[in-house]
Amino acid sequence: MPSTSSPHRKAASRDIAKRTARPVPHPSENGAGVPSLKVSDYFGINTFGVRQMRDKLSRDAYAKLVAAVRLGKKLDPDTAPKVAAIIRDWAIAKGATHFTHWFQPQTGLTAEKHDAFLSFEDGAPLESFSASQLVQSEPDASSFPSGGLRATWEARGYTAWNPASPVFIAEWAGVKTLCIPSVFIGYNGEALDEVTPLLRSSDVLSAKAIELLELLGDKGVQRVFTTLGPEQEYFLIDRDHFALRPDLVMAGRTLIGAPPPRGQQLEDHYFGGIPERVQACIAEVEQELYKLGVPIVTRHNEVAPSQFEMAPRFEETDVAVDHNQLVMATLRRVALRHNLQALLHEKPFAGINGSGKHCNWSMSITADNPDLDGFNLLKPGKTPHQNIRFLVFLAAVLRGVHKHAPALRAGIGTSGNEHRLGANEAPPAIISVFMGDFLTHVIESIASGKSTRSAEEEMIKLGVTRLPEVQRDNTDRNRTSPFAFTGNKFEFRAVGSSQSIAFPVMLLNAAVAEAIGDITSEIKAELKKTKKVDDAVLKVVRGVFKETAAVRFEGNNYSEDWVKEAAKRGLPNFRRTPEALKQLTTKQTHDLLVKLGVFTEEELESRYHVRLERYIKDMLIEMHTMREMVDTLVLPAAFTYSGSLAESAAQAKAAGISVIPQIETANAIGKAIQDLQKARAALSKTLEKAEGMHDELEAQAQLLTSQGADAMAEARKASDAIELMVDDNCWHLPKYREMLFPV
Ligand code: ADP
Ligand code: MG
């Protein structure tokens, strides 16, 4: 008999319907310590940056610290103890009891190990924090992924403070911990984390860009840094629904679930009014982030029901990457206070939009020359010379992205993003660049031009000075491109919502750095023939525009025609994650990263292994979860229902009723059960085969991405059919409509 009491899912929905918004705490009650609602009064109150140390350090020590931060240099041993003492006093005054090096192993998340400030001197307790504790720490590193770089029996690695990212106090449930943003390296200097290679890529881009700028006559540049504004998309659903879904709990996405009659087709969610409970949650997330100095400036509904986005004001990349980790962690934690669950997975629900993380990226200058300091290199300028400079950096991005599209694709290759790339709403796995009408015209005119005109004349004739206004008006920008120029920055849109952006951005930095270096050499060679620098630059830029024509695409990236066209153009299309990751092992990627010094050979190899292993683990977790759900939830529901139909049919027959319509439905459900059993058997077989494979990562990944994914798709189809047939009272899993359209 079907249970007459309604399943948990119904009770959950009833409870949820009664919930109201949890009021957002006043910042003064929430540890900010100021009786003000003005964000500017408590912004960054839980961080301790360089500026706050000014009054407390000698001029000399302060200058050294600023240099360490601004120019990415190491802090010298004389200054470190002074800085440590100041940080300790600040943290203890704020109520912190512990400190931790906060770092980013290759798990996509952050890691921390807390140590108390408490120590003892002659038996008396006191708070202490030494320079060496600030600068270096040694976590037990054996359990972090290393891709074979560091055998577990010599699990020695250490974390080292990265002063470019301000220390902060994490405050959860009233517990305050001083967090010291750090890199994580092995004893021989191997990068074991996501941040070290990113810092290296920033350094190399800076060096190459300065060389080019000097050649262009722009002197006094101290550093060129990249800027990053990651737009974080996410879903918020009710915690009670989440808890009833093993797939969401285990894999972060629904592995089964029939599409509801209404998805996003009414287009009523995007930019719609934010529901009150969600609004309260988001406001509290923002409040926590403001205290940590994370400049969140936009919030809105996204396209799918229950999908949202928050975006910061852009910052220097190294800081923005840390801040994005804080955004993800804070979303996850604060949502729970509101009985909500943040889903950061790239594709939590089939059939509606997934989530990405558009990475807005550009390059800026630090210089003692005020005309150049803070200048954005991808911002079109006013004079012909400024525009030549703009175009040469633009050309470098085009060359980098064109040449290293495979590496960039590898950088966004995860099991989650696989469901998104190439799905209807997301950019396809083909990396192309969108430029907009006007720039396309400029680029094509230059590419097809003859070099008779001087650079200055050419800039004037093409009206490049009009670019800033034209770009501002360029409202209907192509939304389907994986990599789009949006006026004064590029937007790398194919990045996944849950991933750490350090890796893809590091690859982008490196690809562009290499291109800048090559372009510089070409200009130098040209200067042997041409006298005027700008003319030499234009000549080289012309060559780059010609050579990269294939990567520029202004049309609809979602169309089938584009897939064919891209193939004709020779652009790679790596649809599945294993083949995308494989691009990390090619000679071309190797030459890029190893030659630039971003990775050693071993480090690069370990990246490939860590990422491939992660893909395999994700797939195995999903397949196990699915099999269990089929066995313990879907099949039992189907049997309960078909049993009740059989029973009622038997009763009808016994009562002498001649029309027994139950039989038709029972047969249909019987057929669906058989389909599911068949799919389950295939899934199980593939799972066992995959688990029986040892030391053959690539073959394992290949099996999972083909037969594994197919088996899951088949099982899902059969399960979803059953969901739509069985008595609602037999079904225990929250349905899509309940999770996505809370009432
Ligand atoms: P949209 O692209 O949605 O119209 P904006 O152009 O204002 O919105 O910017 C979106 C994101 O791009 C924001 O996070 C913003 O800070 C960031 N952004 C703006 N300028 C830059 C830049 N020079 N470098 C990196 N990110 C930038
Ligand atoms: Mg968006």
Q: State the Cα–Cα distance between residues 358 and 399, nearest whole angstrom.
A: 21
Q: Are strands 175-186 and 221-238 parallel, antiparallel or unpaired?
A: unpaired
Q: State the Cα–Cα distance between residues 366 and 386, nearest whole angstrom.
A: 17
Confidence (pLDDT) at 4: 46
488 CA: nearest ligand 1 atom:
23
312 CA distance to ligand 1 middle (Å):
8
- Which of 300, 315, 489 to mutate to test ligand 1, by most ligand atoms within 8 A of the CB atom? 489
Supply the residue whose CA is at minimum distance from atom 11 of ligand 1: 229
Q: Is the CB of 427 under 6 A from ligand 1?
A: no
**DSSP type of residue 196:** H
Cβ atoms of 416 and 355 within 8 Å: the answer is: no
Closest listed residue to residue 733, CA positions, set 257, 147, 353: 257
426 CA distance to ligand 1 middle (Å):
19
Residue 140 reports pLDDT greater than 80: no
Query: 3-state class of 158 per DSSP?
Result: strand
Q: Is the CB of 226 under 6 A from ligand 1?
A: no
Kindly list the distances between the CA atom of residue 706 and the CA atoms of 208, 703, 709, 710, in Å, as whole numbers in the listed order: 42, 5, 5, 6
Q: How many other CB atoms are there within 10 angstroms of residue 260's CB atom?
A: 17
In terms of Cβ atoms closer than 10 Å to its own Cβ (0-12, 13-18, 19+), residue 22 is middle
Where do runs of H (alpha helix) occur along 19-130? 39-42, 50-53, 59-70, 79-93
How large a percentage of the chain has pLDDT more than 70?
93
Supply the residue whose CA is at minimum distance from atom 7 of ligand 1: 313
Residue 679 reports pLDDT greater than 60: yes
231 CA distance to ligand 2 middle (Å):
6
The ligand with the least distance to the CA atom of 271 is: 2
Query: 3-state class of 555 per DSSP?
Result: coil
344 CA distance to ligand 2 middle (Å):
14
Q: How many CA atoms lie within 13 A of 656 on its CB side?
A: 0
Q: Is the CB of 485 under 6 A from ligand 1?
A: no
Closest listed residue to residue 147, CA positions, set 600, 585, 607, 701: 607
Mean pLDDT of 146-173: 78
Task: Indicate the residue type of 100.
Answer: T
The ligand with the least distance to the CA atom of 356 is: 2
Q: State pLDDT tens for residues 278-323.
A: 999 999 999 999 999 999 999 888 878 899 999 999 999 999 999 9
Q: Are strands 167-172 and 221-238 parallel, antiparallel or unpaired?
A: unpaired
Confidence (pLDDT) at 36: 67
Confidence (pLDDT) at 578: 97
What mean pLDDT is reported for the chain?
A: 90
Closest listed residue to residue 247, CA positions, set 120, 390, 141, 343: 343
Q: Is the CB of 330 under 6 A from ligand 1?
A: no
Q: How many CA atoms lie within 13 A of 368 on its CB side?
A: 5
Mean pLDDT of 669-685: 97
Mean pLDDT of 418-426: 78
The ligand with the least distance to the CA atom of 474 is: 1
Mean pLDDT of 166-179: 92
138 CA distance to ligand 1 middle (Å):
38
357 CA distance to ligand 2 middle (Å):
8
Residue 477 reports pLDDT greater than 80: no
Q: Is the CB of 530 under 6 A from ligand 1?
A: no
Supply the residue whose CA is at minimum distance from atom 2 of ligand 1: 486
Residue 397 reports pLDDT greater than 90: yes
Lowest-confidence segment of 156-165, 217-226, 654-663 by average pLDDT: 156-165
Supply the residue whose CA is at minimum distance from atom 17 of ligand 1: 229
276 CA distance to ligand 2 middle (Å):
21
95 CA distance to ligand 2 middle (Å):
38
The ligand with the least distance to the CA atom of 486 is: 1
The DSSP result for 253-264, as a single string, is S-SS-PPPS-SS
Query: 3-state class of 601 per DSSP?
Result: helix
583 CA distance to ligand 2 middle (Å):
28
Residue 33 reports pLDDT greater than 70: no
Q: Between helices 709-723 and 662-691, what is the axis angle to 10°?
A: 160
Mean pLDDT of 541-568: 94
Closest listed residue to residue 104, CA positions, set 412, 342, 321, 333: 321
Q: Are strands 175-186 and 296-301 parallel, antiparallel or unpaired?
A: unpaired
- Provide the sign of the torsion angle of the four alpha carbons 640, 641, 646, 651, taken in this order: positive
Lowest-confidence segment of 81-95, 256-270, 392-406, 604-618 by average pLDDT: 256-270
How large a percentage of the chain has pLDDT more than 90?
68
Q: State the Cα–Cα distance between residues 116 and 124, nearest whole angstrom.
A: 15
Mean pLDDT of 248-269: 86
Closest listed residue to residue 548, CA positions, set 578, 523, 511: 511
Q: What is the dihedral of CA 203, 204, 208, 214, to 10 degrees?
A: 20
Q: Is the CB of 362 under 6 A from ligand 1?
A: yes
The ligand with the least distance to the CA atom of 353 is: 2
Q: Is the CB of 227 under 6 A from ligand 1?
A: yes
Q: Is the CB of 360 under 6 A from ligand 1?
A: yes
Confidence (pLDDT) at 1: 44
Closest listed residue to residue 321, CA positions, set 367, 375, 282, 357: 357
Closest listed residue to residue 618, CA positions, set 496, 493, 709: 709
Confidence class for position 2, pLDDT limits 50, 70, 90: very low
Confidence class for position 35, pLDDT limits 50, 70, 90: low
Q: State the Cα–Cα distance between residues 266 and 270, nearest whole angstrom.
A: 10
The ligand with the least distance to the CA atom of 319 is: 1
**DSSP type of residue 470:** H
Q: State the Cα–Cα distance between residues 562 and 384, nearest whole angstrom.
A: 35
Cβ atoms of 166 and 53 within 8 Å: the answer is: no
163 CA distance to ligand 2 middle (Å):
31
Confidence class for position 5, pLDDT limits 50, 70, 90: low
312 CA: nearest ligand 1 atom:
14
461 or 238: which leads in pLDDT: 238
358 CA: nearest ligand 1 atom:
11
Angle 186-188-189 from CA coordinates, rounded to 5°: 65
470 CA distance to ligand 1 middle (Å):
17
Confidence (pLDDT) at 413: 96
487 CA distance to ligand 1 middle (Å):
10
246 or 187: which leads in pLDDT: 246
Task: Indicate the residue type of 308.
Answer: F
Mean pLDDT of 502-530: 97
The DSSP result for 167-190, as a single string, is EEEEEETTEEEEEEEEEEEETTS-
Confidence (pLDDT) at 31: 53
262 or 494: which leads in pLDDT: 494
278 CA distance to ligand 2 middle (Å):
18
To which H or E segment does residue 636 belong?
helix 635-654
359 CA distance to ligand 1 middle (Å):
9
The ligand with the least distance to the CA atom of 297 is: 1
Task: Indicate the residue type of 97.
Answer: T
**DSSP type of residue 374:** T
- Which of 228, 231, 270, 314 to mutate to test ligand 1, by most ligand atoms within 8 A of the CB atom? 314
Count of H helices and E strands in the chain? 28, 18
Query: 3-state class of 696 per DSSP?
Result: coil
Confidence (pLDDT) at 467: 76
Q: How many other CB atoms are there within 10 angstroms of residue 559's CB atom?
A: 12
362 CA: nearest ligand 1 atom:
24
- Which of 225, 360, 375 to mutate to test ligand 1, by most ligand atoms within 8 A of the CB atom? 360
Mean pLDDT of 96-120: 91
Query: 3-state class of 552 per DSSP?
Result: strand
Lowest-confidence segment of 353-362, 379-388, 715-724 by average pLDDT: 379-388
Q: At 735, list the tokens.
A: 């349905």
Confidence (pLDDT) at 56: 86
Q: State the Cα–Cα distance between residues 559 and 480, nearest whole angstrom.
A: 10
Q: At 91, list the tokens.
A: 């943290």
Q: What is the dihedral of CA 72, 76, 81, 83, to 10 degrees?
A: -30
Q: State the Cα–Cα distance between residues 286 and 675, nearest whole angstrom.
A: 47
Residue 128 reports pLDDT greater than 70: yes
364 CA: nearest ligand 1 atom:
23
Confidence class for position 675, pLDDT limits 50, 70, 90: very high
The DSSP result for 331-361, as a single string, is HHHHHHHTTEEEE--S-SSTTS---BEEEEE
Residue 474 reports pLDDT greater than 90: no
What lies within 8 Å, CB to CB, of 406 at 6+ separation is 572, 574, 580, 583, 586, 588, 589
Q: How many CA atoms lie within 13 A of 725 on its CB side?
A: 26
422 or 711: which leads in pLDDT: 711
